Amino acid sequence: MTHDLAAAPARLLVVEDDETIRETVSEAMVMEGFAVTAAADGQRAWELLSSQSFDLVVLDLMLPGLNGLDLCRRLRGGGTPPLILVVSARDTETDRVLGLEVGADDYLVKPFGMRELVARCRALLRRQRSQEQAQEQQRSARESVDLHHQELSLYPGECRATRAGAELRLSPKEYRLLELFMQNPRRVWSRDQLIEQVWGIDYIGDSKTVDVHIRWLREKIEDDPSTPTKLITVRGFGYRFG
């Protein structure tokens, strides 16, 4: 979602069942200039997200009823979800990877400092705004150049892709990855290079998010995602297309 930080406050949804943490985070973010709405459980958050537009969700995973992981899955299941910053006391690598796999854009371990939370929120919003502006400029420069590979077709001017004529439902980052790969067939991209190109140079999250998005993309473009023939892993180096 495009958002001009200078023009209007970013719309933030805080989802946290601990009342003290919820109120502390909400008050701190209001003081930082965010327009804040709060929810104490996943179901209430889902109702708000279904009826209102938010730029960013600060989401606890351990929620009563509809938990944070399931809420992430719902958001990723349709449309263009807001940015999601997971905050959780679960701090193992497996927990972080799982959070990224279900759709989180960043993962912050409790306890955390408010300055770091604010910095991460602003970095996510700033990075998305920069990406959207860069993509719009690139789109304008090449909007008439369609890309094709086997049964895959990508139409930059329309921000859409098809496989054997059928529309592919791609998230913005999945689309950008596919566009980058199809523009540069046979080139090997490292994780760091992909993060710089797709997530932005100021990304401070886990690089494993690249592997997660590659797997999602493979599920949509490969006949057998477990044995890919289009999006290839180059062991020890990264990924290439074709």
* Residue percentage of the chain with pLDDT more than 70: 93
Residue 8 has pLDDT above 90, yes or no: no
- Give residue-wise pLDDT tens across range 84-120: 999 988 888 888 888 888 888 899 998 899 999 999 9
Q: What is the spatial distance between Cα 115 and Cα 122, in angstroms, rounded to a whole number? A: 11
State the pLDDT at residue 2.
42
State the pLDDT at residue 162.
95
Residue 3 has pLDDT above 60, yes or no: no
Residue with tokens 């759709």: 103
Q: What is the spatial distance between Cα 72 and Cα 4, in angstroms, rounded to a whole number? A: 25
The CATH class for the domain spanning 143-241 reads mainly alpha
Q: What is the mean pLDDT of residues 64-75?
A: 90
Q: How many CA atoms lie within 13 A of 213 on its CB side?
A: 23
Q: What is the spatial distance between Cα 161 and Cα 62, in angstroms, rounded to a whole number? A: 36
Q: What is the mean pLDDT of residues 167-174?
A: 92
Q: How confident is the model at residue 143 (pLDDT cuts 50, 70, 90)?
A: low
Q: What is the spatial distance between Cα 224 and Cα 218, in angstroms, rounded to a whole number? A: 8
Q: How confident is the model at residue 130 (pLDDT cuts 50, 70, 90)?
A: confident
State the pLDDT at residue 144.
55
Residue 91's nearest CA partner among 107, 71, 73, 67 is: 107
Both tokens of 76, joined, read 């990723």
Domain boundaries, the chain: 11-128, 143-241
Q: Specify whether the CB–CB gap between 220 and 168 falls below 8 A.
A: yes
Residue 140 has pLDDT above 70, yes or no: no
Residue with tokens 């190109």: 197
Q: Specify whether the CB–CB gap between 145 and 153 falls below 8 A.
A: no
Please count the other Cβ atoms lying within 10 Å of the Cβ belonging to residue 160.
Answer: 14
pTM of the model: 0.58
* Residue percentage of the chain with pLDDT more than 90: 62
Q: What is the spatial distance between Cα 9 and Cα 32, in angstroms, rounded to a whole number? A: 9
Which CATH superfamily hosts domain 11-128?
Response regulator (3.40.50.2300)
Q: What is the spatial distance between Cα 47 and Cα 43, in angstroms, rounded to a whole number? A: 6
What is the rounded average pLDDT for all residues in the chain?
A: 88
- Give residue-wise pLDDT tens across range 183-198: 999 999 999 999 989 9
Q: What is the mean pLDDT of residues 12-20?
A: 95
Q: Which of 32-46, 58-72, 95-109, 165-179 has the lowest mean pLDDT?
A: 95-109
